[in-house]
Each structure stands twice: as C-alpha cells, then as structure tokens.
Amino acid sequence: MRNKITVTLTVAALAWLGSSHSTLADGEIVAAFTKNQVDPHFEGVRAGVEQMAKKMHATVRQYVPTKPNNITEGMSQLEDVGVTKPAVILFMPIDPKAQLPTIKRLIEGGTPIVNYNDKAGDAPYLSFVGEDDYKLAYDIAKTLFEHLGGKGNVVILEGVKGSNTGDERKRGFDAALKEYPNIKLLASQPANFQRLLGLQVMENFIQQFSDIDGVLSAADASALGAAEALKSAGRTKTAVVSINGVPEAVEAVKEGSLLAIAEFNGFKIGCVATEIGLRAIRGEKTPKRLLIPGAIITKANFAEWLVPYDKRTCPTAESYAAGQ
C-alpha cells in the first residue's frame, strides 16, 4: 500500500515540476547555459538574460550543471536541450573541445546558437558576445603597476589552469609584466577562481615573502580571499586588483581593500547575447561578433556596479555596435 502511495506521489510531484514550467511558455523559448550556481558572475549573466527576454516577450530556460563546471553534465544538458527544441540557445563552453561536436550537430539540426561569455571554438554561431580576457588582464595589470610607480614586488593568483578564461588572463598579466622591468614577479599559483584557495595561497605567500606590493588576481573571489588574508596579517599597504566586478568586490573597492577591478560584466553579456539571439531569429540583421568594452572600476567611479542585478537596466546591442 505504502509503495502505491509513494509511486503516486512521485508521479504527481514530477508532473507538477514539469507542468509548472511548460505552461509559462509565451513567445520564443531561450535556453541559456551557464557553468555553475556558485559564482555570482553567472548569476549576473542569468539576470541579464531574464531581463532582456522579458522585455522582448520571450521565455527563458536556464541550464546549469548540478556539480560546478562539470563537463559530462554539460554534455548531457546540451544533448537534452536538443529534445526540447528551443528557439535559440545561448551557450558558453565548459570545455570547447568536448562540446563543439554536439554544438555543430545542434546547429545542423536547425537550432540557432549564440556563443557568449567565452569563446567556444569554430562553429556557425549566430554571433559571439563577450569580452577580451587578455585585454582586461593587461589593462588591470598596468593600472596596478602605474599605482606602484612602475616598481615593486607582485604575486599572481591564477584561475583554473587549462580554462580559456584563466589562460587568457594569465597571458595578459604576463604581457604587462614584460613592459615593466622594475616590477618583480615573486610567485604565481592557481587559486582556481575560489575564495578559500585565494585566502590560503595568499596566507602562504605572506609567510614566504616579507615584501609584497601588489597582487594580481584572475577573478574577484580569489582576490577577496587574498584581501582577507592581507587584512588579518596587517599588510594593508599591499594593493590587490582583480577581474570581474561582482557587487561584493565593488564594495571592497569602495572600502579600499581592493584597488581596482577590470569589468567583466556578466549582466551586460547576458542582456546583449539575448537581444542578438532573439533579433536574429526574428529576421533582423545582427553583428557576428560583439565585444563589450570593460571599464576599470576604481574608487572614483564604482557606484554603477553596486546596483543589484534586478535593479539594473539592460544595455542594448546598438550602444556597443558603433565601435565594432
């Protein structure tokens, strides 16, 4: 008897889970892929997608692996989304090499795809919407080195080794280092875009090196961890810079525990990718490639980035198109 009740309840619950989503359909369905539910950057992306889709009367379905950045789950979700036949897919790769064949099959099967946030190899995408990780890293490193007067000791907190984002940002840091011969790189270790790792790697750096003037972090989370470590060691003179600009990090710029951030704006990327995707499938002409310029966020201009995602207004693709 209990079994029947359990089975009936399961069917009812699952049917409810399904229906609650499928009845919402109104206009085209946008399937948006992000890499995890942990990093607020992707929450920014999802918020941007939702806002623009609502404005353009489309419905969003979010796909996120249950384990952060899990490639096999990411593969399965791509396969499964093919079954639901969305009007357009917004896609960012967990691993371009692995996912490209599935992407190509989806496009051949007639599902248009916009590649956003980071590059996903060579396929007939409607468009690429993102930022230039190399340039962001290069610019923020120069900002730090100028602040230090062109000389001093720095350390690098890298991202995830092997990820496109992590590697490009490291490359940008290295390029800037070459231009400043009096800046000495003491050490460079991966902090995997993570807060706890950022904190612990920095704690060990503090023990190893008595004199650190600057920290280059590949992402906000590890920079915030590093700033925390510096604060509790009383090394408040060390300047930390980072890339992304999630609200928490911007608040740290306001308080002074971070010097500056190169803006890698998930919200804007989400907005513009959605707009371009929907316009393209509605038959309008859209740019093949759109790079959103990133500002340097400092104490002088931080206010814009402190606004919560749901209170922000989407920029339009047009406002960026002029410079392309």
Partner 1 sequence: MTTLQAPVSTALPAVPVPMLVRLAIIVVICVALSLISPAFATIDNALNLLRQASLLFLVASGLTLVIIGGGLDLSIGANLTLCACLSASVIKLTGQPVAGVAVALGCGTLVGLTNGLLINRLKIPAFLATFGMLWVAQGIAYWFMAGQVIYGFPAAFRFFGGGFWLGVPVPIWVMLAVGAGCLIFLTRTTIGREVYVMGANEAAASLSGIPIARRRMLLYALSGFAAGLAALIYVARLNAAEPGIGEPLLLPAIAAVLVGGTSLFGGSGSILGTLSGAVILTLIVAALNLLNVGSAWHPFVTGAVILLAMLTDAFAARRAGH
Partner 2 sequence: MSDQTLPGSPVTVGGYLARVPGVAFILLAMVVAFQIGNPRFLSITNLSNVGLQASLLLMLALPMTLVILTSGLDLSVGALIGLAAVIIATLLVAGWSIFSALAAAVALGLVVGLLNGFMISYLALPAFVVTLGTMGLCEGLALALTNGEPIGGFTPALEAFYRAAVFGIPVPVLVAAAFYGLLYLVLYRTRFGIYIFAVGGNKDAVHLAGIRANLVHMAVYVVCSVSVALSAVLLLGRTNSAHPTVAVGMEFEAIAAVVLGGTSFEKGQGWLFGTVLGVLAITVLRNGLNVLSVEPSLQVVCVGVLLIAALLIDRNRKRPVARITE
Candidates 196, 303, 307, 321; binder of partner 1 (CB under 8 A) is 196
CB 90, CB 59: distance < 8 Å: no
Q: Which window, 34-42, 48-56, 292-300, 313-321, contacts partner 1 (CB under 8 A)?
A: 34-42
Residue in the block written with tokens 């790079």: 291
Please give the helix or strand (H or E) that residue 43 lies within, else none: helix 40-55
Contacts of 156 (CB under 8 A, 6+ apart): 170, 173, 185, 187, 188, 189, 215, 216, 217, 218
Candidates 97, 184, 288, 289; binder of partner 2 (CB under 8 A) is 97
Total residues interacting with partner 2, rule: CB under 8 A:
47
Which residues in the 229-248 window bind partner 1 by CB under 8 A?
231-232, 246, 248
190 touches partner 1 (CB under 8 A): yes
188 touches partner 1 (CB under 8 A): no
Q: Which does 82 bind (CB under 5 to 8 A by kind): partner 1, partner 2, none?
A: partner 2
42 touches partner 1 (CB under 8 A): yes
Q: Which window, 136-144, 157-165, 284-292, 310-318, contacts partner 2 (CB under 8 A)?
A: 157-165
CA distance 130 to 92: 10
160 touches partner 2 (CB under 8 A): yes
**Strands 289-291, 88-91: parallel, antiparallel or unpaired by DSSP?**
unpaired
76 touches partner 1 (CB under 8 A): no
| Ordered strands of the 152-158 beta sheet | 183-190, 152-158, 214-217, 239-244, 260-263, 296-297
* Contact string (CB under 8 A) for partner 1, positions 4-33, x = contact: ------------------------------
Q: How far is CA 134 from CA 173, 258, 264, in A?
A: 8, 20, 11
46 touches partner 1 (CB under 8 A): yes
Q: Which does 206 bind (CB under 5 to 8 A by kind): partner 1, partner 2, none?
A: partner 1
Q: Tell me the Ramachandran region of residue 283: left when phi exceeds 0, alpha when psi lies from -120 to 50, beta otherwise.
A: left
Candidates 51, 77, 194, 242; binder of partner 2 (CB under 8 A) is 77
Candidates 58, 183, 206, 223; binder of partner 1 (CB under 8 A) is 206
Cα angle value 279/281/283 (rounded, 5°)? 75
For residues 232 and 324, which CB has a smaller minimum distance to partner 1 in the complex? 232
Beta bridge partners of 25: none
Q: Which does 232 bind (CB under 5 to 8 A by kind): partner 1, partner 2, none?
A: partner 1
CB 296, CB 267: distance < 8 Å: no
**Strands 260-263, 296-297: parallel, antiparallel or unpaired by DSSP?**
antiparallel
Total residues interacting with partner 1, rule: CB under 8 A:
33
* Contact string (CB under 8 A) for partner 1, positions 249-288, x = contact: --x-------------------------------------
Token reading at 177: 């280092």
Give me the least distance between CB of 306 and partner 2, in Å please: 26
How would you label 215-238 residue by residue, b for 16+ Cβ within 10 Å and e otherwise?
bbbbbbbbbbbbbbbbeeeeeeeb
Give me the least distance between CB of 78 and partner 2, in Å please: 10
**Contact residues for partner 1, defined by CB under 8 A:** 36-40, 42-43, 46, 66, 68, 189-190, 194-196, 199-201, 203-204, 206-208, 210, 221, 224-225, 228, 231-232, 246, 248, 251
